[in-house]
Amino acid sequence: MPETKGACLILGVGDGLGSALARAFAAEGHVVCMTRRARNLEALQALAGSIAADGGTAHAYGVDARSEEEMTDLFATIERDIGPLEVVVFNIGANVRFGIRETTTRVFTKVWEMACFSGFLAGREAARVMAPRGRGSILFTGATASVRGRDGFAAFAAAKHGLRAVAQSMARELGPQGIHVAHVVIDGAVDGTFTRENRTDVEGLLARDEILKPDDIAAAYVNLHKQPRSAWTHELDLRPWRETW
């Protein structure tokens, strides 16, 4: 049984990277708190049970990360009932494709709310509880769209560019206060439900090392949290060994 190392909050836990992150930080000894929308809470509770069966501790919360009230309540609940937050991971995606002529204001706004605004809320609330203690890690999941806007992804790229800017500003502000802020560019497809629903060749991609494996990505996040502050990484670029340019 690993030594308890404080709480880790992961926002946006599905059955791919989010689940891998939860398992990885639980294995490190963190009490893991996981969020999804309330309608998906049952699956999250099952994951918490699986982590407990492996000797870890996990809690599931149904939260709309776009709601300021729900986010402030979540952080207050964890700090009060679970323990001090040592790690906060923002892992919400919103990867949708619309041609610019078909992108409605509602789509653009919703994608921005999910992938950027909710990241701001998570980062702000994390900073509020971590700064007085002078320690902690705030990690943001980015994408290829964080640095390059593809055709058909104007809304997603705008949101991910914005999230990257939030992370950069936070790193410069909070680093001197002892808080490690990092942005991880996931430059490629990640094995999981979303990819398997949208690709027919996932097994081949895995066999050829042309797709990222969630457990390997999660290990990189754990290493970011464990880095000594004399050599903190702000931006980490993760991509498969054999990639398609």
Tell me, yes or no, whether 244 lies in a domain. Answer: no
Task: Kindly provide the b/e burial profile for residues 195-226, where b requires at least 16 CB atoms within 10 angstroms of the residue's own CB.
Answer: beeeeeebeebeeeebbbbbeebbebbbebbe
CATH number at 21 reads 3.40.50.720
Q: How many domains does the chain have?
A: 1
Tell me, yes or no, whether 33 lies in a domain. Answer: yes
Tell me, yes or no, whether 79 lies in a domain. Answer: yes
pLDDT, one tens digit for every residue, the chain (245 residues): 445 689 999 999 988 999 999 999 999 999 999 998 877 799 999 999 999 999 999 999 999 999 999 999 999 999 999 999 999 999 998 888 888 999 999 999 999 999 999 999 999 999 999 999 999 999 999 999 899 888 888 999 999 999 999 999 999 999 999 999 999 999 887 776 666 666 677 677 776 777 889 999 999 999 999 999 999 999 999 988 776 54
Which two tokens mark 12? Answer: 């946006």
Within a 10 A sphere around the Cβ of 154, how many other Cβ atoms?
19
Which two tokens mark 156? Answer: 């997603």
Domain that holds residue 54: 7-238
Tell me, yes or no, whether 196 lies in a domain. Answer: yes
* 185 beta partners: 142, 237
Number of helices followed by number of strands (H, E) in the chain = 9, 7
Tell me, yes or no, whether 243 lies in a domain. Answer: no
Tell me, yes or no, whether 182 lies in a domain. Answer: yes
Cα diameter, the chain? 54
Tell me, yes or no, whether 169 lies in a domain. Answer: yes
